[in-house]
Structure 1
Amino acid sequence: MSAEDLPPELVPVNGALTTVAFRRSVRAKRISLRIDTSSGGLLITLPMRASRRAGLALLQAHEGWAAEKLAALPQALRFTQGAAVPVHGVPHVIGHVPGARGGAWIEPGRILVTGEPDFLARRVTDCLKRLARQHLTAMTAQKAQAAALKPKTVRIKDTRTRWGSCAPDGTLAFCWRLICAPDYVQDYVVAHELAHLRHMNHGQHFWALTETLTPHRDAASEWLTRNGMELLRIG
Structure 2
Amino acid sequence: MGQHILPGNPPVALILRRSPRARQISLRVSRLDGRVTLTVPQGVPEATALNFAHDKESWLRKQLSAQTQMIQVAVGDDIPFAGDMRRIVAGTGRRISLTEDTLAVPGPGDSVATRLQAWLKSQARDRLAAASDRYAAALGRPYTRLTLRDTRSRWGSCSSQGGLMYSWRLIMAAPEVLDYVAAHEVAHLAQMNHSPAFWAVVAQLYPDYERPRQWLRRYGTDLHRYRFNT
TM-score range, shorter chain: 0.7 to 0.9
Q: TM-score, normalising length from structure 1? A: 0.76
What secondary structure does 1:73 align onto?
coil
1:60 aligns with 2:53: yes
Which residue of structure 2 aligns with residue 48 of structure 1?
none
Aligned length: 219
Q: Identify which of 83, 90, 105 aligns with 1:113.
A: 105
- Does the 8 Å contact 1:37/1:232 carry over to 2? no
Which residue of structure 1 aligns with residue 88 of structure 2?
94
1:134 aligns with 2:143: no
Which residue of structure 1 aligns with residue 166 of structure 2?
174
Residues in 2 aligned to 1:121 and 1:30: alpha-carbon distance in whole angstroms:
41
Residues in 2 aligned to 1:59 and 1:127: alpha-carbon distance in whole angstroms:
46
Q: Alignment RMSD, CA only?
A: 3.5
Which residue of structure 1 aligns with residue 115 of structure 2?
123
How far does residue 103 in structure 1 lie from its aligned partner after superposition? Answer: 5.1
Identity percentage over the alignment? 32
How does 1:72-87 map onto structure 2 within 5 Å? Answer: 72-87=66-81
- Does the 8 Å contact 2:82/2:171 carry over to 1? yes
Residues in 2 aligned to 1:62 and 1:234: alpha-carbon distance in whole angstroms:
33
Q: Which has the larger radius of gyration?
A: 2
How does 1:1-235 map onto structure 2 within 5 Å? Answer: 11-12=5-6, 16-19=10-13, 35-42=29-36, 60=53, 69-97=63-91, 100-102=92-94, 104-235=96-227
Q: TM-score, normalising length from structure 2? A: 0.78
Letter in 2 for 1:115: G
- Does the 8 Å contact 1:37/1:160 carry over to 2? no
| Cα 1:116/1:62, change in 2 over 3 Å | farther
- Does the 8 Å contact 2:156/2:164 carry over to 1? yes
Residues in 2 aligned to 1:105 and 1:21: alpha-carbon distance in whole angstroms:
42
Residues in 2 aligned to 1:178 and 1:153: alpha-carbon distance in whole angstroms:
18
| Cα 1:234/1:223, change in 2 over 3 Å | same
Which consecutive aligned stretches of 4+ in structure 1 deviate over 4 angstroms post-superposition? 13-16, 19-23, 28-38, 56-59, 61-69
Residues in 1 aligned to 2:128 and 2:55: alpha-carbon distance in whole angstroms:
38
Residues in 2 aligned to 1:59 and 1:176: alpha-carbon distance in whole angstroms:
39
Q: Which moved further from structure 2: 30-39 or 159-168?
A: 30-39
| Cα 1:80/1:162, change in 2 over 3 Å | same
Alignment gaps of 5+ in structure 1:
46-52
| Cα 1:94/1:143, change in 2 over 3 Å | same
Give deviations 1:110-157, integer Å, cap 9, x for gaps.
111122211111111111111111111111111111111211111111
Residues in 2 aligned to 1:138 and 1:221: alpha-carbon distance in whole angstroms:
20
